[in-house]
């Protein structure tokens, strides 16, 4: 039986296990885009049918194909059973328009009108400078307000001092994922 945990201040309990879509089975080990659709669909839907309610993907996973796969696998009522997370590829953001374009592309690939949990992917000092220079927090706040994003967070890859600076910069953060390097 699946166990569930409290998620900060949110009125929602995630399953103790989530399902990450970074390393789905492929039909060709040399081609990350060749997701084994049948096997991966069975895996994801089995997990959801047995209580997993948090699904995580990102723009670059499977060379851009993971979000498309997730959009397909969440059809037939599965989207309503999970909270969906994906990530904005910070290394690809040069303007606010590029962030806007990528979020809209992600929503289209995921076949949804919103992402429950949206992360600034791989924040570190240099990418935090980009967030500040482009005022991406103001952009994200608009996406929160218009409902395309329900909760904003970040994945993190740097030192404690940088983490503290980022976490203290805004009240918009609902969560973060910390990479242990």
- Look up the CATH number of the domain holding residue 64: 3.20.20.100
Quote the number of domains for the chain.
1
Q: Could you give the C-alpha distances from 180 to 85, 123, 125, 157, in angstroms and in order?
A: 20, 13, 16, 8
Distance separating alpha carbons of residues 3 and 30, to the nearest angstrom = 36
Distance separating alpha carbons of residues 71 and 153, to the nearest angstrom = 21
Predicted pLDDT of residue 181:
55
Residue 8 within any structural domain of the chain: no
Cα angle 77, 56, 12; round to 5: 70
From the centroid of its chain, how far is CA 108? 14
Distance separating alpha carbons of residues 124 and 154, to the nearest angstrom = 10
Predicted pLDDT of residue 121:
97
Residue 172 within any structural domain of the chain: yes
Average pLDDT by stretches of 10, the chain with 181 residues: 92 96 96 97 98 98 97 98 98 97 98 98 95 98 98 94 96 89 55
Predicted pLDDT of residue 9:
85
- Residues of the domain holding 24: 19-178
Predicted pLDDT of residue 180:
65
Provide the b/e sequence for 117-131 (b: ≥16 CB within 10 Å). bbbbbbbbeebbebb
Distance separating alpha carbons of residues 102 and 115, to the nearest angstrom = 13
Residue 102 within any structural domain of the chain: yes
Query: Given strand 54-56, what is the order of strands in its sheet?
Result: 19-20, 54-56, 83-89, 115-123, 149-156, 173-178
pTM exceeds 0.75:
yes
């Amino acid at each position: 039986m699946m166990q569930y945990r409290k998620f900060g201040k949110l009125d929602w309990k995630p399953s103790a296990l989530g399902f990450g879509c970074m390393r789905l089975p492929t039909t060709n080990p040399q081609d990350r885009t060749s997701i084994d659709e049948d096997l991966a669909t069975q895996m994801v839907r089995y997990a959801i049918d047995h209580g997993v309610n948090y699904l995580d993907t990102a723009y670059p996973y499977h060379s851009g194909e993971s979000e498309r796969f997730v959009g397909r696998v969440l059809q037939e009522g599965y989207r309503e059973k999970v909270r969906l997370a994906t990530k904005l590829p910070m290394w690809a953001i040069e303007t606010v328009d590029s962030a806007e374009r990528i979020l809209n592309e992600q929503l289209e690939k995921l076949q949804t009108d919103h992402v429950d949990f949206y992360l600034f992917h791989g924040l570190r000092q240099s990418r935090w400078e980009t967030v500040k220079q482009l005022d991406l927090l103001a952009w994200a706040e608009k996406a929160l307000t218009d409902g395309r994003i329900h909760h904003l967070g970040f994945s993190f890859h740097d030192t404690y001092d940088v983490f503290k600076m980022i976490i203290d910069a805004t009240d918009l953060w609902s969560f973060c994922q910390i990479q242990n390097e």
